[in-house]
C-alpha cells in the first residue's frame, strides 16, 4: 500500500489536471450548486471531457447525462460530488467501484453541522481509504486551475480568475468568493485556487506540498480558521521553503486569548494560543498576515517583482509631503535611503529643474510630467547603491498619469531591481493604477503598505529562505535516569510536582541546579548550610503549597546556624498558619545567589503545536510585565537566541547603564535542554523555572525555583 | 393495510410527483440518489403521501426517510 502522502500527491495531480470530469448529482436547475458547478466547468472552456451524472435528467446543457457514475462507459479522472450529504457516500462508493481515485466533495452537511454530520464525514473517509481515493472537502467551494492546458473551474464561484502565479488555499469557501472579486478588480491572477472546506481527507499540508512542486505557482497564500496540527504545518512549511524557495503567507483568524487556560503555572497563564501560533509560524518561515489586503499587498511584491538585494531604496515623488511620509514609513520598517553616487547626482541635476530635490527622496516637483519621472527612475535603477525604487505620484492638473504609468511599466521590464508604486488618490489616478496592475507593477494606496511589502520580500529572501533548521547535539543528557524519576513521581498519581523533585529531573538534562539539599530537621538544615556555605535560602517543600512566597514560606540571606534555626521555626509556623492542613515534607536549603538577573523559562504543551518554550523577565511580577517570548520545541540555537532578542530583557542582559553583560549562552543552553526534555517526555504539561539566576558573562546561571505539572491521568 | 399495497401506492405517488416511469422505481430506490428528488420535491412527496393515505405525519421525521421501503414502513406506523 502506497504511503498516504505519496498517494495524495498523485491523486492531487489528477484533481488539478484531469482529462475527464464527472459531476455527480448535477441537474438542470439554474442557480443551484449542482447546476452551476457544471456550468462553470463548461464556461471556463475545460480542456477535457465532461460527464454529467444525474438520476433524472437524460441530458444537461446538451450533453448526455448518465444515471449513475458507474454507467459512464469511459474512464473518469475526477469526480465532483454535488449530491446532498445524506447520499454522497453512495456516490463515493460508486466512484470507488469505477476506479476513480480523485474526488472533490462540494456538499455541505458534515462535521460543521455536528455529531451526525461528523459520522457522515467519517463514512466518506472509510470509503476513500478502501479504494485508495483522495478527496478535497467536503463543504467546499471547489477548485480552480487556470493553466491553459486544463482550464478547470470546478467551483461555484461567480467568475474564473485570470491566470497568474499565485496559489491560494482557503478553509472558508465564502471568503474565497470575496477574494476572487477583490483580486479581479486588481488584475491579480492565480495559478491554483482551492477551497478545501472541512479537510476531512486532503488537508492544507497536502496542498502545500502539491504547490511546492507546481511550476505555475510562485507564491502560496492560505487562509486558515484553525491549525489542527501546528507541528506538521511547521515541518511542511520548512520543507516547502527549503526545496522550492516559495514564500508562504497565511492569515490565521481567531486572535483572541481564550485559548490560554486558567493554568497553575506562570508559563501556563502567559501562553496564549495566538502567541504560540505567531512563534511557530515565524520559526517555520511562514509570513503571517493580519488581513486580506496585507496578504495581497505582499503577495504582489513576491509574485511580480524581483527580490531586492538590500534594504536601500530610492524614492521618486512629485510632492514633498508624500516623499517625507514614504521616507518615514520606510525607515520605521527597517529600510534605508540609498546614497546616490556622484554620477547619479550629475544625471539628476541635468535632467531635473533647479528647484527639484536631487537627493534621496528625489522630488521631481509638482509640475513634473513623464519625462522627469522617466529620467529620475532610470537614474535610480542605474545607481549601484539602490536596490529598489519607489514611485510616488500625486495628481496635479498637468500630471500625465496614464503616460507615467505606462512608462513605469515599460522601464520596469527586464530590470533586476524591483519597482513599487503609490499613485495617491482614487478617482483621477484610477486609470493609471489600472495600467500598472495590468502590467504586474505592484501598486499600493498607502506608502506604508508599499514599504511593508518590500520589507517582507527582502526579509524572506535574505533571512528566511536559506535558513537551515539545525538542531544542536546536547551532551550530558541522562534520559534513562530522567525516565526513572518521572515514573517514580507518576506512580504516586500526582500531577503537581514541587521544586525538589522537579530540580532532580532538570539535573538529568544538564540544567544548572543550585547547590543544596532537602532537610527534614533543623539540624539537617544547619549541616547542609555549613556544607554549601552561607548565605543560604530556605524554602518550604509541601505538595499542598504551590506559591511559597504567598505563605511567607521563603527566607533569604541566612548567614549563620542560628539564623537557619530561627528561620526553620518561622517558615513552619507561617506555612501552617496560611494552610493549616498542609503536610510539610521539609525545607529546601540552597546556596543563595547574589547579583544575578532573574529570568523565567517555561514549558507549556499546546494541543496543536506541541511543547512550547517561554523566556522572559522573571520574578513574581512576571504576569504584570509580560515581557516574554515563545518558541516551539525543539529549538535550534539560533531560534533560542532569537527568543531572547525579541524581549526588552535582552537589552538588560546585554549590559546597560554600567551593568555587566550577562551569560546569555547559559540561557540559550537551558532553553535547548528544556526543549529536549519537553519533546522526550510528553507527559510534561507545564514547567516553570522562575527564576533562573543569570550571572555575568562567562559565569553561567543557576536555577532558583522550579515546578512541573504533568498531564492528569484518569 | 398490507405492506405490499402501501408500497404500490407509495410508488404511484412518487411516479406522479417526480414524473418517473413506475418501472424505474424499486422497493430499495433512494429518493435522492436513485430517483433524483430535490428538496422541494421531497416536501411534495410528503404532502402526496399524507393525501394518499389520509394521515398527518411528523414532517421532520418524514423528510429523513431515504428509500421507498422505509417510506412504506413509516406510513404503516400511521395506519
Distance of CA A460 to the CA centre of its chain: 13
**Class in CATH terms, A479-591:** alpha beta
Sort A25 into a burial class: Cβ within 10 Å, 0-12 / 13-18 / 19+.
buried
Query: If you measure CA to CA, which chain B residue comes closest to A89?
Result: B33
pLDDT score, position A517: 92
Q: Using CA atoms, how far apart are residues A107 and A258, in angstroms rounded to an integer?
A: 31
Residue A621 has pLDDT above 80, yes or no: no
Using CB atoms, pick whichever of B20, B32, B34 lies closest to residue A86. Answer: B32
A4-253: CATH superfamily: NAD(P)-binding Rossmann-like Domain (3.40.50.720)
pLDDT tier for residue A260 given thresholds of 50, 70 and 90: very low
Q: Is B21 a catalytic residue?
A: no
Helical residues (DSSP H) of A104-194, grouped into ranges: 115-130, 173-185
A115: helix, coil or strand? helix
- A109: which 3 cell numbers? 452537511
Query: Cβ–Cβ of B33/A54 closer than 8 Å?
Result: no
A56·B30 Cβ contact <8 A: no
Let me know: does A137 contact A107? Beta carbons within 8 Å.
yes
Topology (CATH level 3) of domain A300-464:
Rossmann fold (3.40.50)
pLDDT at A467: 85
Mutate to test the interface with A, among B14, B19, B32 (most CBs of A within 10 A): B32
Kindly give the pairing relationship between strand A628-632 and strand A536-541: unpaired
How many CB atoms neighbour CB A473 within 10 A?
7
Kindly tell me if the per-residue pLDDT of A140 is higher than 60: yes
A383: Cβ–Cβ under 8 A, 6 or more apart, which residues? A314, A338, A340, A341, A343, A344
**pTM attached to this predicted model:** 0.92
CATH number for region A597-710:
3.30.470.20
H-run or E-run covering A677: helix A664-680
Evaluated on CA atoms A323, A326, A331, A332, the torsion sign reads positive
Specify the pLDDT at position A259: 41
Rounded to a whole number of angstroms, the distance from the CA of A74 to the nearest CA of chain B is: 21
Residue spans per domain, chain B: 3-18+27-76
For the segment A203-216, the average pLDDT, to the nearest whole number, is 97
Residue with C-alpha cell 514609513?
A329
Of residues B28, B38, B54, B70, which has the active-site annotation?
A: B38
Residue A714 has pLDDT above 70, yes or no: no
How confident is the model at residue A525, as a pLDDT?
Answer: 97
Q: Where are the beta strands (DSSP E) in A498-592?
A: 516-519, 536-541, 554-558, 586-591
Q: Do B36 and A57 count as a contact with CB atoms less than 8 A apart?
A: yes
Q: What is the pLDDT of residue A130?
A: 97
Nearest chain A residue (CA) to B32: A87
Read off the pLDDT of residues A346-384 as tens digits, 9 standing for 90 and up. 999 999 999 999 999 999 999 999 999 999 999 999 999
Query: Are A55 and B35 a contacting pair at CB < 8 A?
Result: yes
Q: Where does CATH 3.40.50.720 sit in chain A?
A: 4-253
Residues of chain A with Cβ-Cβ distance to B36 below 8 Å are 27, 54-57
DSSP structure string for A209-248:
HHHHH-TT-SEEEEEES--S-HHHHHHHHHHHHHHH---E
- pLDDT score recorded for residue A546: 81
Cell of A223: 487562509
A53 contacts in chain B (CB < 8 Å): none
In chain A, where does the domain assigned CATH 3.30.1490.20 lie? 479-591
Please enumerate in sequence order all residues whose Cβ is within 8 A of that of A669, keeping only pairs 6 or more positions apart, or say none. Answer: A510
**Residue numbers of A between 78 and 117 with CB closer than 8 Å to B:** 83-84, 86-87, 90-91
| CATH of span B3-18+27-76 | 1.10.1200.10
pLDDT confidence of residue A496:
86
Distance CA A550, CA A558 (A): 19
CB contact under 8 A, A27 and B36: yes
Lowest mean pLDDT of A106-110, A467-471, A555-559, name the range. A467-471
Cβ-based contacts under 8 A for chains A and B: 28
Tell whether the model's pLDDT for residue A256 goes beyond 60: no
Amino acid at each position: 500500500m502506497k504511503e498516504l502522502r505519496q498517494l495524495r500527491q498523485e491523486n492531487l495531480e489528477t484533481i488539478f489536471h484531469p482529462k475527464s470530469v464527472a459531476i455527480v448529482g448535477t441537474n438542470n436547475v439554474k442557480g443551484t450548486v449542482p447546476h452551476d458547478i457544471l456550468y462553470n466547468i463548461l464556461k471556463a472552456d475545460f480542456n477535457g471531457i465532461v460527464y454529467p451524472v444525474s438520476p433524472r435528467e437524460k441530458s444537461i446543457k446538451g450533453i448526455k447525462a448518465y444515471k449513475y457514475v458507474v454507467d459512464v462507459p469511459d474512464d473518469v479522472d475526477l469526480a465532483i460530488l454535488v449530491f446532498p450529504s445524506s447520499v454522497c457516500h453512495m456516490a463515493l462508493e460508486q466512484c470507488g467501484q469505477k476506479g476513480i481515485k480523485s474526488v472533490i466533495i462540494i456538499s455541505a452537511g458534515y462535521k460543521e453541522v455536528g455529531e451526525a454530520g461528523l459520522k457522515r464525514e467519517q463514512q466518506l473517509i472509510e470509503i476513500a481509504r478502501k479504494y485508495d481515493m483522495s478527496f478535497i472537502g467536503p463543504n467546499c467551494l471547489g477548485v480552480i486551475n487556470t493553466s491553459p492546458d486544463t482550464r478547470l473551474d470546478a467551483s461555484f464561484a461567480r467568475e474564473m480568475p485570470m491566470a497568474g502565479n499565485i496559489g491560494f488555499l482557503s478553509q472558508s469557501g465564502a471568503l474565497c468568493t470575496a477574494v476572487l472579486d477583490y483580486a479581479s478588480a486588481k488584475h491579480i491572477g492565480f495559478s491554483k485556487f482551492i477551497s478545501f472546506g472541512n479537510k476531512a481527507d486532503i488537508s492544507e499540508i497536502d496542498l502545500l506540498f502539491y504547490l511546492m512542486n507546481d511550476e505555475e505557482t510562485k507564491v502560496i497564500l492560505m487562509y486558515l480558521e484553525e491549525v489542527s496540527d501546528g507541528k506538521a504545518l511547521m515541518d511542511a512549511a520548512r520543507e516547502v521553503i527549503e526545496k522550492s524557495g516559495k514564500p508562504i503567507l497565511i492569515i490565521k483568524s481567531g486572535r483572541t486569548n481564550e485559548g490560554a487556560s486558567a493554568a497553575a503555572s506562570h508559563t501556563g497563564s502567559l501562553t496564549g494560543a495566538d502567541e504560540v501560533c505567531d512563534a511557530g509560524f515565524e520559526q517555520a518561515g511562514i509570513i503571517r498576515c493580519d488581513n486580506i489586503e496585507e496578504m495581497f499587498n505582499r503577495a504582489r511584491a513576491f509574485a511580480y517583482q524581483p527580490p531586492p538585494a538590500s534594504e536601500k531604496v530610492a524614492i521618486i515623488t512629485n510632492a514633498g509631503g508624500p516623499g517625507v511620509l514614504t521616507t518615514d514609513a520606510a525607515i520605521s520598517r527597517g529600510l534605508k535611503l540609498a546614497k546616490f553616487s556622484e554620477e547619479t547626482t550629475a544625471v539628476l541635476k541635468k535632467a531635473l529643474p533647479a528647484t527639484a530635490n536631487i537627493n534621496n527622496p528625489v522630488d521631481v516637483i509638482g509640475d513634473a510630467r513623464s519625462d522627469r519621472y522617466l529620467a529620475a527612475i532610470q537614474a535610480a535603477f542605474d545607481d549601484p547603491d539602490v536596490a529598489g525604487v519607489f514611485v510616488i505620484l500625486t495628481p496635479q492638473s498637468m500630471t500625465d498619469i496614464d503616460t507615467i504609468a505606462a512608462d513605469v511599466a515599460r522601464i520596469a521590464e527586464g530590470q533586476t531591481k524591483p519597482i513599487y508604486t503609490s499613485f495617491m488618490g482614487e478617482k483621477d489616478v484610477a486609470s493609471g493604477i489600472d495600467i500598472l496592475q495590468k502590467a504586474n507593477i505592484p501598486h499600493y494606496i498607502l506608502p506604508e503598505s508599499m514599504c511593508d511589502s518590500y520589507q517582507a520580500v527582502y526579509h524572506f529572501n535574505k533571512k528566511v529562505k536559506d535558513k537551515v533548521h539545525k538542531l544542536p547535539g546536547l551532551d550530558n543528557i541522562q534520559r534513562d535516569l530522567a525516565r526513572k524519576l518521572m515514573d517514580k513521581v507518576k506512580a504516586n498519581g500526582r500531577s503537581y510536582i514541587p521544586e525538589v523533585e522537579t530540580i532532580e529531573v532538570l539535573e538529568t538534562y544538564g540544567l544548572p541546579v543550585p547547590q543544596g539539599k532537602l532537610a527534614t530537621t533543623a539540624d539537617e538544615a544547619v549541616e547542609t548550610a555549613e556544607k554549601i556555605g552561607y548565605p543560604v535560602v530556605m524554602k518550604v517543600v509541601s505538595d499542598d503549597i504551590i506559591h511559597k512566597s504567598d505563605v511567607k514560606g521563603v527566607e533569604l540571606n541566612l548567614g549563620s546556624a542560628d539564623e537557619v534555626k530561627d528561620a526553620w521555626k518561622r517558615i513552619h509556623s507561617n506555612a501552617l498558619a496560611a494552610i493549616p492542613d498542609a503536610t510539610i515534607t521539609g525545607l529546601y536549603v540552597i546556596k543563595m545567589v547574589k547579583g544575578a538577573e532573574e529570568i523565567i523559562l517555561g514549558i507549556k504543551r499546546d494541543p496543536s503545536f506541541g511543547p512550547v518554550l517561554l523566556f522572559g523577565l522573571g520574578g513574581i511580577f512576571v504576569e504584570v510585565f509580560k515581557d516574554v517570548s515563545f518558541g516551539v520545541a525543539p529549538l535550534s540555537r539560533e531560534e533560542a537566541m532569537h527568543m531572547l532578542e525579541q524581549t526588552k530583557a535582552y537589552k538588560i542582559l546585554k549590559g546597560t547603564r554600567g551593568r555587566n553583560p550577562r551569560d546569555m549562552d547559559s540561557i540559550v543552553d537551558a532553553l535547548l535542554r528544556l526543549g529536549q526534555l519537553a519533546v522526550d517526555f510528553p507527559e510534561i504539561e507545564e514547567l516553570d523555572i522562575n527564576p533562573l539566576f543569570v550571572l555575568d558573562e562567562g559565569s553561567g546561571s543557576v536555577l532558583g525555583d522550579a515546578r512541573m505539572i504533568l498531564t492528569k491521568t484518569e | 393495510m398490507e405492506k405490499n399495497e402501501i408500497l404500490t401506492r407509495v410508488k404511484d405517488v412518487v411516479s406522479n410527483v417526480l414524473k418517473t416511469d413506475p418501472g424505474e422505481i424499486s422497493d430499495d430506490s433512494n429518493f435522492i440518489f436513485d430517483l433524483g428528488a430535490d428538496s422541494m420535491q421531497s416536501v411534495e412527496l410528503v404532502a402526496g403521501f399524507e393525501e394518499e393515505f389520509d394521515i398527518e405525519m411528523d414532517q421532520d421525521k418524514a423528510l429523513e426517510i431515504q428509500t421507498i421501503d422505509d417510506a412504506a414502513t413509516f406510513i404503516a406506523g400511521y395506519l
